[in-house]
Structure 1
Amino acid sequence: MARAKAIYSESGEPLRSLGVLLDISDRKSIEVERQRADEYLQLAHTQLLQRTEQLEKVNLELHQALEELQITEEQLRRSNHQLETTILAVQLQRQRYEDLFNFAPDGYLVTDSYGIVQEANQAAGNLLHRHSSALVGKPLAVYIGKEDKLRFRTYLAELQPLWGRQTYELTIQPHQIKAFPAAIAASTIRNPQGQIISIRWLIQDISDRKQAEESLRRSEAKFRSLSEASPVGIFMTDIQGHCIYTNPCCQEICGYTFEEALGEGWLQFIHPEERQEISARWFKSVSQRQEIFGETCYVRKDGSLRFGRVRSAPLFSDTGELMGYVGTIEDITESRAIETMKDEFISIVSHELRTPLTAIRGSLGLLASGVLNNKPEVAQQMVEIASQDTERLVRLVNDILDLERLESQRVRLNLQWWDAATLLEKSVKTVQPLAAESDISILIEPTSAQVWADGDLLIQTLVNLIGNAIKFSPPNTTVTLKVQNRDDRVLFHALDRSLGIKP
């Protein structure tokens, strides 16, 4: 290294220069080494900072990894706990399934797709009369009744494409004991590809049910037999009061067919004047589960009227459950007509009784008073009048008694075949004196009709009929008697010249 200094004059001009030369080689070497050392230190410091940063980053990553590891460890612990809980639940569920499977009251079996038993419960063993373990490996078809084996194989083949539960009724043939009817339900277990892995079978002994069904069929057949032969109309409805059954007698009375009466169809055969009232009463009693009783007028298709006495009551099962309603219809058309005739007859008889009683009383009164003591002919006439009216009175009383016996069903009829002409001749002989007295001629038209009747009672009826014709005919006229023979009856006619009696 060199240093120099200029020397100047007073006027400022340079005079000379003065310099010193120093050897600084060692110092330069030292500076170079020092510089190198500084650079190395700087590099080392930089690398140290980088390494420290890397270490901090790695430490952070390790810390995060540790936290993640701890979280994962906690998750694994929880998962392990859940797995243990799930395994325990599965074990409990399997135990329940095994308990249900083994101790179920019905027979349960599991077979492969070919019907080979893989598993069976105790009930299945009891039904098939084999230990459940002895059933494993055996074809289920072995325990199907001979007559149903082909059907079973058909059902087994049909299960291949079918999904869901299928039910059948087959005969089961247990080992060495009597066969019994069974209800069998089958359902398939399939893999994700839809292929059958196994088939579950449920077998129930339905012997009691079949016996109950047979008893019910017999009861229904017996009921229908009795109902169809019953002289009283019988009907049944559901719990809403809609008709579900009528017997032939009911159909005959009301004029409808079995199909026409179903539901509310029977209402269309009620007389229009009563239909609304009957309908309201009926459905009110149904809603209140009450009995109903009354008389109803039916209009049949031919326009004729029939009167029925209706009685119905709710029908309950053994458990008290309402099953519907059952009722009867009694045809009272004839009894109503008889009652009307009786009322009219009593009205007429009341009048008719007064007439002979008045005549008898008057005749006997005159005889008792002695007024006719000196008039024997007139007295004799009074006696004859009293006698004739007494006979008339006896006939009227007998008619009343006959009507009473007829109404109380105490009349015994002696039925046999009679020639209608013979009956007319006997009747005419009885009333001939009355006809002669009134100057009435009686003409009987020829007839070959035969009638199945009680001869005495029919003659009595004909005597009354002919007697009325004579009574209301003017003198010197003819009463014509003729017989009209129809398919199911014989009609007797007494034709006279009177105005007649309103029928």
Structure 2
Amino acid sequence: MIKGGPALNFAPLPEFDPQEIYQAVFENSRDAIGLSQAGKHVFVNPAYCKMFGYQSNQELVGRSILDLIAPCQRSQIQKYVKMRETGEDPPNFYETKGLRKDGSTFDMEVTVSSYLKNGGVYTLVILRDISEHNRALELLTESESRFRILAESAPIGIFFLDNDENCLFVNSRWQEITGLKLHEYLATGWLNLIHPEDREFVIQEWTAQLPRTGQFQLEFRFLRRTGETRWISMRVSSIANIYEDVLGFVGTLEDISERRQSENQLKSALEEREVLLREIHHRVKNNFQAIMSLLNLQMRKLKNPELKKILQISRDRIRSMALVHEQLYESQNMARIDLQKYLRQLTRELTVLYQETPNLRIQLSLEALHVPLEQAMYCGQLFTEILANALKNAFPEPPESPEIQIVLRSAGSRIELEMQDNGIGFRPDFRIEHSTTLGLRLILSLVSQLQGDYQVSSENGLHWKVTFPLASPASEAQPTR
């Protein structure tokens, strides 16, 4: 009784018969339990019968224990039985193969104890079927063997780290790339092999990527023991169990030094090519400028207005081509021309040269489109011919509000260029395909060069609509001429 507290009354404990407890354990055990004397079964529990495929212990009592042992193992078990009978000390724990009633065999684990009773030696065995366990071990061994064969024949380095990032395995290719053996790697650690200039960045990426994504991927420089620097690509993935606990990491290592060298050489070659192309476009533009200057000098000396007009038109056509090379020289993209910027600049220059109509308003609606050099050249010449013709001929008697509208837009895989004025237009009986003037014939030729179509109408002024396909990479490589 606890002093100062209430009295506690406990129910009396029931009396247990030890024999009943032993009997209950024996009958209900999931392990096979059997008792034998002189190599003969004395009694067995239900789990024992079930393990060997028998219905009751009556089928086994009195039978030799060797009847339940696979033939290949009987001599060994017989030896153990005789050792116990003579008082020797055979193994108390071992594995062997059992033989079921249907003739099938299985792996079993045997725990043995012996005791004396009434002058006789009795042997108590506890058996467990370990077939599935052993099969799992075999599969694991086979899997490990396949992995090692695969890892050793892989063209890339492979390594395993535990959860504390200690190395557990590296393959031969890893050792070739790093120039280290496994024991050397364990002594130095992989971080010490990283180039000093890259080490801090690699550590930052490692600690940032792995916890967040379970992945790590980076290219960096690696220092071999000889002092040689190699570029490597490392990929690492975490290994987790079904509870998503990280158990370790598996990684690959690839020597990309040659690829890096090729990339640097290619980059240098491309930079040199770009410089060369810029210089070429610059010189072509200068040559065009020289030709235009010569034409201007010639025009000043001419007194014939018709000849001056012809030279002026030729000069303007050359200018439209020179402007393409000028844009390429100034552009970051050496393959394509900004068509919006190109046509806008052509409009400004042609307006300065040809506008004689008071209060003329030019409305531009130009979509930002980029086209290859050759397509831009044809489009610029076409644009020059149509706009110059409108500026020179559309308004002999200007209307109250003279206007030219220019539209550039994409329509799916095609480009549409429209130009409309509110001038006099063509005569009602005029057919452009029958025209003999150089300008109109040049327009039709340029539309054909662009693989395009055109529509022209002369209601309320002249309205041109030209559509042509936007050049694809294939057509850029082989432009239509």
The TM-score normalised by the length of structure 2 is: 0.50
Query: For residues 335 and 94 of structure 1, do their structure 2 counterparts lie closer, same or farther at Cα, with a shift above 3 Å needed?
Result: farther
CA drift of 1:85 comes to: 8.3
Structure 2 residue matching 1:302: 3-state secondary structure:
coil
Question: In structure 1, what is the Cα distance between the partners aligned to 2:82 and 2:179?
Answer: 54
Question: In structure 2, what is the Cα distance between the partners aligned to 1:342 and 1:335?
Answer: 10
Query: For residues 172 and 285 of structure 1, do their structure 2 counterparts lie closer, same or farther at Cα, with a shift above 3 Å needed?
Result: farther
Match of 2:50 among 126, 143, 163: 126
Match of 2:159 among 213, 217, 235: 235
Q: Which has the larger radius of gyration?
A: 1
2:253 aligns with: 329
Match of 1:109 among 24, 31, 34: 34
1:141 aligns with: 66
CA distances 1:339-393 after superposition (whole Å, capped 9, x unpaired): 322332333223322333333333333234336999xxxxxxxxxxxxxxx9xx9
Q: More relative contact order in 1 or in 2 (CA 8 Å, sep 6+)?
A: 2
Paired residue type of 1:325: F
Query: For residues 330 and 158 of structure 1, do their structure 2 counterparts lie closer, same or farther at Cα, with a shift above 3 Å needed?
Result: farther
Question: In structure 2, what is the Cα distance between the partners aligned to 1:276 and 1:108?
Answer: 63
CA distances 1:215-264 after superposition (whole Å, capped 9, x unpaired): 32333333334333433332222232211122333333323234544587
Match of 2:78 among 153, 173, 195: 153
Structure 1 residue matching 2:265: 3-state secondary structure:
helix
CA drift of 1:265 comes to: 4.3
CA drift of 1:292 comes to: 3.2
CA drift of 1:200 comes to: 2.3
Give the root-mean-square deviation of aligned CA atoms: 4.1
Structure 2 residue matching 1:213: 3-state secondary structure:
helix
CA drift of 1:145 comes to: 0.9
CA drift of 1:173 comes to: 1.1
**Are 2:217 and 1:303 aligned?**
no
1:172 aligns with: 98
CA distances 1:442-500 after superposition (whole Å, capped 9, x unpaired): xxxxxxxxxxxxxxxxxxxxxxxxxxxxxxxxxxxxxxxxxxxxxxxxxxxxxxxxxxx
Q: Is the CA contact (8 Å cut-off) linking 1:256 and 1:269 kept in structure 2?
A: no
2:271 aligns with: 347
**Are 2:297 and 1:363 aligned?**
no
1:439 aligns with: none
**Are 2:184 and 1:271 aligned?**
no
Q: Is the CA contact (8 Å cut-off) linking 1:295 and 1:309 kept in structure 2?
A: yes
1:212 aligns with: 136
Structure 2 residue matching 1:318: 3-state secondary structure:
coil
Give me the identity figure in percent.
24
Paired residue type of 1:175: K
Structure 2 residue matching 1:370: 3-state secondary structure:
helix
Question: In structure 2, what is the Cα distance between the partners aligned to 1:123 and 1:224?
Answer: 41
**Are 2:138 and 1:223 aligned?**
no
Paired residue type of 2:152: E
Paired residue type of 1:140: I
CA distances 1:52-100 after superposition (whole Å, capped 9, x unpaired): xxxxxxxxxxxxxxxxxxxxxxxxxxxxxxxx989x42x1x43232222
Structure 1 residue matching 2:275: 3-state secondary structure:
helix
The TM-score normalised by the length of structure 1 is: 0.48
CA drift of 1:201 comes to: 1.4
Query: For residues 289 and 362 of structure 1, do their structure 2 counterparts lie closer, same or farther at Cα, with a shift above 3 Å needed?
Result: closer
Query: For residues 293 and 119 of structure 1, do their structure 2 counterparts lie closer, same or farther at Cα, with a shift above 3 Å needed?
Result: same
Question: In structure 2, what is the Cα distance between the partners aligned to 1:221 and 1:203?
Answer: 31
Question: In structure 1, what is the Cα distance between the partners aligned to 2:220 and 2:88?
Answer: 60
Number of residues of Structure 1 aligned to a counterpart in Structure 2: 289
Match of 1:317 among 232, 241, 249: 241
Paired residue type of 2:21: R
**Unmatched segments (≥5 aa) in structure 1:** 1-83, 375-389, 394-399, 401-503
Structure 1 residue matching 2:227: 3-state secondary structure:
coil
Q: Is the CA contact (8 Å cut-off) linking 1:245 and 1:262 kept in structure 2?
A: no
**Are 2:162 and 1:255 aligned?**
no
CA drift of 1:321 comes to: 4.6
**Higher share in helix:** 1
Q: Is the CA contact (8 Å cut-off) linking 1:367 and 1:373 kept in structure 2?
A: no
Query: For residues 282 and 140 of structure 1, do their structure 2 counterparts lie closer, same or farther at Cα, with a shift above 3 Å needed?
Result: farther
Structure 1 residue matching 2:152: 3-state secondary structure:
helix
**Are 2:20 and 1:95 aligned?**
yes
CA distances 1:274-304 after superposition (whole Å, capped 9, x unpaired): 5577568768988899433333422223332
CA drift of 1:311 comes to: 2.5
2:109 aligns with: 183
2:341 aligns with: none
Structure 2 residue matching 1:326: 3-state secondary structure:
strand
Paired residue type of 1:349: R
Question: In structure 1, what is the Cα distance between the partners aligned to 2:192 and 2:80?
Answer: 50
> What are the residue-to-residue correspondences of 1:48-87 with 2, within 5 Å?
none
Question: In structure 2, what is the Cα distance between the partners aligned to 1:190 and 1:316?
Answer: 52
Q: Is the CA contact (8 Å cut-off) linking 1:187 and 1:200 kept in structure 2?
A: yes
Question: In structure 1, what is the Cα distance between the partners aligned to 2:82 and 2:200?
Answer: 60
**Unmatched segments (≥5 aa) in structure 2:** 1-11, 299-324, 329-334, 336-481
Question: In structure 2, what is the Cα distance between the partners aligned to 1:338 and 1:148?
Answer: 65
Q: Is the CA contact (8 Å cut-off) linking 1:236 and 1:326 kept in structure 2?
A: yes
CA distances 1:120-175 after superposition (whole Å, capped 9, x unpaired): 11111122233223323333222111111122234446665549x83222111122
1:499 aligns with: none
Query: For residues 243 and 154 of structure 1, do their structure 2 counterparts lie closer, same or farther at Cα, with a shift above 3 Å needed?
Result: farther
Q: Is the CA contact (8 Å cut-off) linking 1:172 and 1:179 kept in structure 2?
A: yes
CA drift of 1:196 comes to: 8.8
Query: For residues 105 and 240 of structure 1, do their structure 2 counterparts lie closer, same or farther at Cα, with a shift above 3 Å needed?
Result: same
Paired residue type of 1:364: F
Paired residue type of 1:128: F
Structure 1 residue matching 2:103: 3-state secondary structure:
coil
**Are 2:137 and 1:199 aligned?**
no
Question: In structure 1, what is the Cα distance between the partners aligned to 2:126 and 2:186?
Answer: 40
Paired residue type of 2:275: H
